[in-house]
Amino acid sequence: MDTATAMSRDPQDVFSRRLDAHRGIMLKVAATYARNAHDRDDLAQEIATQLWRAWPGYDPQRNFSTWMYRIALNTAIDFVRGNARRIRHSIPLDEAEHDAPSTQPDHEAQASLRMLHRFIDTLEPLNRALLLLYLEERSTREMAEVLGISESNVTTKVSRLKQRIRDHVATD
């Protein structure tokens, strides 16, 4: 057996390769649930830790990104609950620290992004997770699997979230 084959069978190497290939999921979840850079880094590290702990139970027959989302979102929800217990209010958006790539200032787009972040900050953890998955254009089936709810419940909740967004835009 050659070195490359031996390495590909090493669980840590396989995990590292998969994590690197799907790092964007971890970073998006961390950015959705933590607004300042320090908390985002802490949450991303905690997500990676939880993924590693859960790795022995991963079924390769299942979609890796779905499995990863489920663990990342559960970790993020626990993170939010832990912070809520400590500070008893939502974390304000610190726009100076929030990474919003832009080559030119588009004030309308930035205002829309700020409005979306304010809305996201008002959501309970399950709806925040659902909105993240919806914005990532995940299928109803995948959202249901990640969140552990039925597909019809996903459809209903997405419809209600859309209405809440419309109401939020109308009052903002």
**pLDDT confidence tier of residue 135, bands split at 50, 70 and 90:** confident
Token output for 9: 């069978």
What is the per-residue DSSP string for 73-129?
A: HHHHHHHHHHHHHHHSSPPPP-TTTS----SS--HHHHHHHHHHHHHHHHS-HHHHH
- What does the pLDDT read at residue 170? 79
- What does the pLDDT read at residue 92? 47
Give tens-digit pLDDT for 48-87.
Answer: 999 999 999 999 999 999 999 999 999 998 888 776 555 4
153-to-73, 103, 142, 158 alpha-carbon distances in Å = 18, 39, 13, 8
Using an 8 Å Cβ cutoff, are 80 and 154 in contact?
Answer: no
Give tens-digit pLDDT for 82-94.
Answer: 765 554 444 444 4
- What does the pLDDT read at residue 172? 66
21-to-18, 26, 95, 129, 160 alpha-carbon distances in Å = 5, 11, 28, 21, 33
pTM: 0.63
- What does the pLDDT read at residue 3? 39
Give tens-digit pLDDT for 31-44.
Answer: 988 878 999 999 99
